[in-house]
């Protein structure tokens, strides 16, 4: 190799090095603390609590385990301090450390190079099992079980709220009547919690992991310079529920409908709806994948796409789950791809 060629090769290497340096985000204390503040804000605002694990996931991937755990400890102490001075209601006290744990699990799945779906399933089932074991132990450790704890708590809360609302002018009589009914019969609230609480916990856990994984993959350009991860967000949005899951779904529907027509006992209604709710979250994920493919087909990107996705998830989640069920037979993605190919040929 001539001297001229050596110079050209050296120049190319320098440019490549400069390009890599530009792609790698600069890590500093300000960005690290900003992630902590973001996690704390998300944890404090209940509608956004689903997103609270995302800053922690990014922090674990960029700054490492011990720094992020230290940030979590500081944030939890801050939440306790703010609660003591009655600065706020303290919703972050439980959500903040839980989000830290979720972020740790999601980042570990990425570091282990697991597929997005495998990470969600393993983490979700592990946490759900731990929570259920904890609830069973707590139930048997109480004299009257979980019901004995919920009943007086709901009654006390409803009474306090009724006394506060009653003093406010212009409060609808219907609202006061409903609160009074709960005060006199807390079972109006307690029984649905006992009947469907397991499903709500199951959905909350899996939805949290799915949202955290989805956004983390969307933000992959931030952390991919530090971690070699072979999977893309397509692996998540292309998810399809196995066809065999249709059979327990049909069984749940039969039980729920059968109870309405008194073909079976009242237990069937509870079992049937729990099955539908727990399986429905996976069909929701599939329906979201269909929506994502549709938006790609329509070439909807940027801010408008974000708004469409946000409102679809918040306001049309049942429709999304139904689309996921229909996709089992219809295969909407195949239709989009076929239409796209025909358009390209024309």
* DSSP state string for 10-71: HHHHHHHHHHHHHHSPPP-HHHHHHHHHHHHHHHHSGGGGGGTHHHHHHHHHHH-HHHHHHH
pLDDT at residue 17 tops 60: no
77 versus 7: which is more confidently predicted? 77
Tens digit of each residue's pLDDT (9 = 90 or more) over 155-171: 999 998 888 888 777 77
**What's residue 338's pLDDT?**
62
Average pLDDT over residues 229-258: 92
Predicted confidence band of residue 125 (pLDDT cuts 50, 70, 90): very high
Distances (CA, A) of 43 to 51, 59, 84, 104, 128: 8, 16, 17, 16, 20
Tokens of 126: 């592990």
**What's residue 6's pLDDT?**
55
Tokens of 172: 């609808």
Task: Report if residue 16 sits inside a domain.
Answer: no
Helix H or strand E segment including 278 = helix 267-297
DSSP, res 142: S
pLDDT at residue 19 tops 50: no
277 versus 89: which is more confidently predicted? 277
How many Cβ atoms are within 10 Å of 169's Cβ, its own excluded? 4
What pTM value is reported for the model? 0.87
Task: Report if residue 308 sits inside a domain.
Answer: yes
Tens digit of each residue's pLDDT (9 = 90 or more) over 257-287: 877 766 677 788 899 999 999 999 999 999 9
Counted domains in the chain: 1
Q: Average pLDDT over the chain, rounded to whole?
A: 86
Task: Report if residue 218 sits inside a domain.
Answer: no
Average pLDDT over residues 54-60: 96
DSSP, res 170: T
**What's residue 21's pLDDT?**
46
Task: Report if residue 181 sits inside a domain.
Answer: no
Task: Report if residue 270 sits inside a domain.
Answer: yes
pLDDT at residue 346 tops 80: no
Average pLDDT over residues 108-122: 96
**What's residue 16's pLDDT?**
45
**What's residue 344's pLDDT?**
43
Per the document, the length of the chain is: 346
Contact 103, 177 (CB under 8 A): no
The C-alpha angle with vertex 116 and arms to 336 and 97, in degrees rounded to 5, equals 130
Nearest to 288 by CA among 252, 328, 321: 321
Lowest model confidence (mean pLDDT) among 2-11, 225-234, 284-293 = 2-11
Task: Report if residue 24 sits inside a domain.
Answer: no
Share of the chain above pLDDT 90, in %: 56
Tokens of 120: 């969600």
Domain that holds residue 273: 238-339
Average pLDDT over residues 127-133: 96
Predicted confidence band of residue 345 (pLDDT cuts 50, 70, 90): very low
Tens digit of each residue's pLDDT (9 = 90 or more) over 176-209: 899 899 999 999 999 999 999 999 999 999 999 9
113 versus 79: which is more confidently predicted? 113
Predicted confidence band of residue 38 (pLDDT cuts 50, 70, 90): very high
Task: Report if residue 17 sits inside a domain.
Answer: no
């Amino acid at each position: 190799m001539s001297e001229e060629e050596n110079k050209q090769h050296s120049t190319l290497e320098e440019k490549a090095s400069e390009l890599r340096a530009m792609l790698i985000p600069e890590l500093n204390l300000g960005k690290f603390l900003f992630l902590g503040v973001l996690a704390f804000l998300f944890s404090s605002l209940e509608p956004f609590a689903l997103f609270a694990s995302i800053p922690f996931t990014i922090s674990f991937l960029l700054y490492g385990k011990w720094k992020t755990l230290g940030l979590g400890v500081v944030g939890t102490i801050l939440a306790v301090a703010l609660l003591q001075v009655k600065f706020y209601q303290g919703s972050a006290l439980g959500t903040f450390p839980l989000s830290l744990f979720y972020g740790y699990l999601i980042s570990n799945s990425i570091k282990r190079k697991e597929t997005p779906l495998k990470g969600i399933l393993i983490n979700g089932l592990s946490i759900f099992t731990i929570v259920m074991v904890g609830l069973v132990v707590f139930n048997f450790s109480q004299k009257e079980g979980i019901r004995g704890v919920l009943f007086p708590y709901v009654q006390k809360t409803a009474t306090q709220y009724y006394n506060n609302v009653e003093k406010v002018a212009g409060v609808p009589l219907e609202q006061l009547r409903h609160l009074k009914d709960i005060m006199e019969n807390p079972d109006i609230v307690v029984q649905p919690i006992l009947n469907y609480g397991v499903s709500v916990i199951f959905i909350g856990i899996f939805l949290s992991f799915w949202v955290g994984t989805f956004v983390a993959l969307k933000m992959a350009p931030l952390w991919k310079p530090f971690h070699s991860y072979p999977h893309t967000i397509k692996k998540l949005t292309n998810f399809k529920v196995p066809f065999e899951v249709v059979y327990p779904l049909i069984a749940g529907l039969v039980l729920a409908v059968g109870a309405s027509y008194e073909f079976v006992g009242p237990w069937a209604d509870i079992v049937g709806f729990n099955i539908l709710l727990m399986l429905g979250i996976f069909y929701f994920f599939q329906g979201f994948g269909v929506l994502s493919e549709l938006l790609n087909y329509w070439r909807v990107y940027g801010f408008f796409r974000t708004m469409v996705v946000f409102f679809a998830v918040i306001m049309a989640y049942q429709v999304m789950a139904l689309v996921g069920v229909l996709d089992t037979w219809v295969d909407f993605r195949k239709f989009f791809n076929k239409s796209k190919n025909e358009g390209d040929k024309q």
